[in-house]
Amino acid sequence: MSRDLGISFCFGAAGGGENGDFGSAGSAELDRFILDSGKSLAEAAEWVLEGASSGEAGFGWYNLPDQNIDSVLAASLWLKGYEAIIHVGIGGSSLGNLMLHQALLPMYHNEVPGDGTPRFYLADNPDPEKTMAIWERARGRRTALIGVSKSGATAETMSQFLWFRSKIAESGAQPDDNVLVITDPEEGVFRSFARETKCRSLEIPPSVGGRYSGLSPSGLVTAAALGCDVKGLLSGAAAMRDFFATNRDARTNPALCLAAIHRFHELAGRPMAVLMPYSNRLETFAEWFAQLWGESVGKDGFGTTPVRALGAIDQHSQVQLYTAGPDDKLYTLINILERGTDIEIPPVSEKSLAPLSYLSGHKLGEMLGYEAASTAAALVKAGRPVVWIEADRLDARTLGALVFFYEYVTAVTGRLIGINPFDQPGVEQGKRYTYGMMGRGAYKDDSDEAFKYFAGIKKESISI
């Protein structure tokens, strides 16, 4: 791939092999698999393009780089007038925001004094302690409330939305003047609520699923309000998409190549996929990937389990397992060459610190990069399959490109497996059980079934 985006995808060790032997049987088998999969990969690429062109359900993420964001920017300007923003959502309606913010905003941005941006709080998990903690920090500030749900039926989101809305009203705000809902353009509880109350609203395209919605208004509006370059995000995504549109060969299209690599290792008995970025700014990117991957490809007994790791922290917690445990994982490491800030390690004069003098003059970012390379080399020596992704820098354009890259890889991998990468039937069953347990009338049978299964879990127990 060209360096237009400043990203390299390196697959030289993707086959694995005993003691890092790049001519091993594993590498040769992978090469043959990719070659034999050429027709299927080209068909999958065409399938994505046709689905997006025809507006089929699930394919809308492909067209997000072209969206008109005038309404998003107008809403973000309105949000900037508040002292705090409470964003209520779960799954793709929360991880997309966290991923964009962590990668592009100053670390601990809520604690940066006088920068003119609102404080941001994300209410995702309906843990009452977290919900109350958010309110305690927003209380007394002019606060905007954002609710994100395509259907307006997500119990975790709607319960917290109702609670925060009531607390803000109690504080004296004019009802719903400070509310923004992001939802389906025509249907659902939130759309009806917006029509009734005349609160602000933004649309999630019906063909965009929640875990693919990071570059939709649900992710972009708070990113823009807090100062992220959302046009840069979409520009990077568009550049990646346009590259894929004209490259249907796995030898020149890294997304097709990586999809084939994932499928190869699933068939070879490696049921886990580790994503390990060497940047704190990409920690939530790995979480976002875990939802995208797990919910998209884990169906009908197929799929690999996403594993989140962070370098260099997990060198001290997981790499022992990775190098000397079972050979059941594919590893992808992401390294950033130019870090926005770097710190030089000072010289030492004390005799007791003399053993550390080799560090003097080096920089922390330099060391983190060497640690990434060292981990990759240790994995290769142990015969583990490794994919190496390297970006010149982490800016909005790079991030947008990486988001689109992994969405594309996920869709193509699902097609190779033979499942629908855009639905989530397993999630829906859990939702039905929750609706029933919470007393939603139409789901009583689901409630009875859930309590029956749960009773079996507790049938045998040991109490201390």
Residues tagged active-site: 295, 316, 431
Which tokens go with 259?
A: 């999809």
Nearest to 348 by CA among 339, 360, 335: 360
Asked whether 291 and 299 are in contact (CB, 8 A), the reply is: no
Rounded Cα–Cα distance for residues 288 and 282 (Å): 10
- Among 421, 117, 99, which residue's Cα sits nearest to residue 233? 99
Phi, psi of 107 (to 5 degrees): -60, 145
Beta-carbon neighbour count of residue 365 at 10 Å? 19
Bridge partners of residue 274, in order along the sequence: 307, 331
C-alpha dihedral (192, 188, 221, 172), degrees to nearest 10: 40
Q: Is the peptide bond before 312 cis (omega within 30 degrees of 0)?
A: yes
The phi, psi pair for 150, rounded to 5°, reads -65, -40
Q: Which residues contact 265 (CB under 8 A, 6 or more apart)?
A: 273, 304, 330, 385
Distance in angstroms (rounded) separating the CA atoms of residues 4 and 175:
49
With beta carbons less than 8 A apart as the criterion, state whether 286 and 309 touch: yes
State how far the Cα of 138 lies from the Cα of 82, in Å rounded to an integer. 11
